[in-house]
Amino acid sequence: MGFFVFLPLVLPLTAWPVARLAEQHLHPRSATRLLTGVAAVMAVCSTVCLGLVMVVGTAQLPGNPLPDAWSDPEVRAAVPYDEIAGKAAIPALCAVVGACGRTLWSHALTRRRAHRALAGLPGTEVAVLRDGTPYAYALPGRRGRGRGRGLGHGMGRRDRVVVTTALLDRLRPGERRALFAHERAHLAARHHRLLLVVQLAARANPFLRPLRTAVSYTAERWADEEAARVVGSRRTVARAIGLAALSSHRAPVTTLPCLAAPGPVPRRVAALLAPAPVGRRWPPVSTSAGLAAWGAAVGTAVSAMSSANSAVTMYLILQAATPL
């Protein structure tokens, strides 16, 4: 395998220009899905790479539970600088597991607390909180759970739009419609899942952080376009975003989308004041959008094939070295 075993660890660097091109030239819906898939595949590949390096590099350490044959020179030759790389992979892999675990725990805990905070309100789709702090966010529910508990016989765990009276007082009727349409678009497309995936991917490999930032932006742009389609006025949605950004606070966690999400709000407003983007499924390669899409696809495929080749090769080496 040689140095190719480390390729999935550094290939996410190619995602930086791809993320920039995708968020600028692809339809927000296509860019969100593409970049989320790229982040997920590259994160899995880099984690597999760490696992393989750790197994080979630590097999010769005394007291390890691995078969003795896995420490043979023929096996260690598959990974360059196996001893140093293997020892370095142990804390790296532990850090990845710990960071991803903390992210999942924080996401689940925040959702649980948010639902409990709504326990005294009617079980409607929109939960209005009497709060002097202006904010709004989309709170996903737990489908198929909560029957007989909460409000309205399970309604406490449904998808809900949470908004405070302070924010509603700052918006006109048309802008309120834009707010609700925006948050409903987040819930309908399950954007919280996509945001959680890219958050975990960035925890698994820091080189994927630009994809996390890009998906956070494109998911908001996706919801902006859906809100503009529902409301029928792109300018109204742009005004709602501007007013919310000036007065609102961010959602409880970055995986719960909100109208005034942190990020390039002026770019979102400018995009809404421009003509609606064309919703092509896959742009031609002769365009800049096509180059972004194909670059992301090729980089992901190379990373996946490299990881798969390393995994299969290592499996065959370990199988041949393990006595029956």
- What pLDDT, on a 0 to 100 scale, did the predictor assign at position 152? 40
Both tokens of 301, joined, read 């495929």
- State residue 153's pLDDT score: 41
Q: Judge residue 243's burial from the number of C-beta atoms within 10 Å of its C-beta, 0-12 exposed, 13-18 middle, 19 or more buried.
A: buried
Q: Summarize the confidence of residues 4-26 as an average pLDDT.
A: 77
The confidence band for 150, taking pLDDT boundaries of 50, 70 and 90, is: very low
Q: Is the CB of residue 87 less than 8 Å from the CB of residue 57?
A: yes
Contacts of 156 (CB under 8 A, 6+ apart): 115, 118, 119, 123, 146, 149, 150
Residue type, 192: H
Q: Say yes or no to pLDDT of 136 above 80.
A: yes
Evaluate if residue 76 carries a pLDDT over 80.
no
Percent of the chain with pLDDT over 70: 71
Interval 138-155 mean pLDDT:
54
Cα–Cα dist 180/187, whole Å: 11
Instruction: Answer whether residue 324 shows pLDDT above 80.
Output: no
Q: Is pLDDT of 137 > 60?
A: yes
Dihedral pair phi/psi, residue 287, rounded to 5°: -100, 165
- Confidence class for position 32, pLDDT limits 50, 70, 90: very high
User: Quick one: average pLDDT of 176-201?
Assistant: 94
CB neighbourhood size of 133 (10 A): 12
How does DSSP assign 226-256, residue by residue? HHHHHHS-HHHHHHHHHHHHHH----SSTTS
Please compute the mean of the pLDDT values over residues 239-263 and round it to a whole number: 72
At 116, is the secondary structure helix, strand, or coil?
Answer: helix
Please give the DSSP secondary-structure letter assigned to residue 170.
T
Q: What is the mean pLDDT of residues 40-62?
A: 79
Mean pLDDT of 77-101: 83
- Tokens matching residue 42: 């590259």
pLDDT at 101 over 80: yes
Angle at 85 between CA 84 and CA 87, to 5 degrees: 65
Residue 81 has pLDDT above 80, yes or no: no
pLDDT at 148 over 50: no
Q: Label residue 284 exposed, middle or buried (CB < 10 Å: 0-12, 13-18, 19+).
A: exposed
Look over the chain and give the mean of its residue pLDDT values, rounded to a whole number: 79
Residue 166 has pLDDT above 80, yes or no: yes
Question: What is the per-residue pLDDT across 276-304, written as a single tens digit (0 to 9) for each?
Answer: 887 655 667 777 767 766 776 676 667 66
Q: DSSP letters of 53-101?
A: HHHHHHTTSTT-SS-GGGGSHHHHTTSTTHHHHHHHHHHHHHHHHHHHH
**Residue (of 104, 194, 96, 115) closest to 159 by Cα position:** 115
- Residue 77 or 85, more confident: 85
Q: Is the pLDDT of residue 271 over 50?
A: yes
As a whole number of angstroms, the distance between CA 215 and CA 264 comes to 12
Whole-number pLDDT of residue 155: 42
- Do 179 and 136 form a contact (C-beta atoms < 8 A)? yes
**Residue 282's CB: how many other CB atoms inside 10 A?**
13
Q: Which residue has the higher pLDDT, 22 or 230?
A: 230
